[in-house]
Amino acid sequence: MCALAQSRSTAGSCGSCNSLQRILARAAYARTWSVSENWAVASQVQLCVLLCKYHEFHDAMAIAHRALRSQSEGIFPHGRERNMLLWIKINCAEELGERDEAARAIRLLASSAPTSVLVWNKFHEICKGHSNANNILRWILRVVNRVPVVCPSVYIILGSHHLLAGNYTWAAGQYLIADRELPDHPLIALLLGVSFTRMVMQRRPINVHLVAVQGFAFLEKYFRLRTASGDEGDIVEACYNLGRTYHYLGLNAMACEFYQRVLESRSSLLKFEAAHNLALIYVASGATALAVRVRREYCTV
């Protein structure tokens, strides 16, 4: 029985090796494929998928790149096959650590599918922290100006770029467009609240009080939307975010109220952060004993 099992295992492994050899042979043929042979695009997609299955990412990306470059030669893949080849190229480039190649491929994919949330989420995942962030921002603006309808995620990405750069007015403008498309999304309401409160702290708006009221209104909207599910984790997150915002604005009494709600919850989520911030408020107000008690209870391992 042992000998039979061993022979079957050997035969299975040999079959797997032969299968891999056949795939690599087809890959070698694909890389030398000429346009006159007019190899079906669907076969290339299947071959790339098999190569990725066997972790042959170099060959898979070479085949996908060759197929996508055939546009000028008259047999450019369209529609579903083209998008699949782009996804394959993106995944292979990520596996090989070629970030620039992945960024170029995701740009092509985003241009052909500007309303896809999945594509723009992947775009943000690949391009965040990129050294050419300004070039990426200008490219997104060109897409928005060229395409009449785009995914709301695009405006969130644009707003986040402006928010990180300190352009809070531009950030709020982009988030308002996203809020018009998704009025019941708590993240957009939170980002709008943060943008307006940052504008208040800059002291640049003509009517600071109006901007402050708008910021508080969006923060309250965020709190209402986030806590609507009744989930303990969502409530704790909303309380901490509001407490942190009020702490930033110097409204320490309101910040303490929300930090206390985090500490009194049954969930352990964000308790360390809330206790640390609450202790900072106590120290600033001269209540050192309360700060020591909070840190001892929640910040001691």
Alpha-carbon distance of 154 to 21, in angstroms, equals: 43
Highest mean pLDDT range out of 36-40, 134-138, 140-144? 140-144
Please state, rounded to an integer, the average pLDDT across all residues of the chain.
83
16-28 average pLDDT score = 56
pTM to 2 decimal places: 0.75
Q: Is the pLDDT of residue 76 over 80?
A: no
Give me the amino acid identity at 82: R
Query: What pLDDT sits at residue 28?
Result: 55
Look up residue 101 and give its amino acid: E
Does position 141 have pLDDT exceeding 60, yes or no? yes
Query: Residue 73 carries which DSSP code?
Result: G
Residue with tokens 């402006």: 162
- What is the structure's pLDDT at 268? 82
- Averaged pLDDT for residues 262-276: 91
On the question of pLDDT at 127 being above 50, the answer is yes
pLDDT of 91 higher than 50:
yes
pLDDT-based confidence at 186, cuts 50/70/90? Answer: very high
Angle at Cα 133 formed by Cα 129 and Cα 134, nearest 5°?
Answer: 160
Lowest mean pLDDT across 79-93, 166-180, 266-280: 79-93
pLDDT at 4 exceeding the cut of 50: no
SS3 state at 184: coil
Q: Can you tell me whether residue 103 is helix, strand or coil?
A: helix
Res 37: pLDDT:
43
Residue 260: Cβ-neighbour burial (10 angstroms; 0-12, 13-18, 19+): middle
Assign 7 a pLDDT band (cuts: 50, 70, 90).
very low
221: confidence class by pLDDT, cuts 50, 70, 90: very high
| Highest-pLDDT range among 29-33, 213-217, 266-270 | 213-217
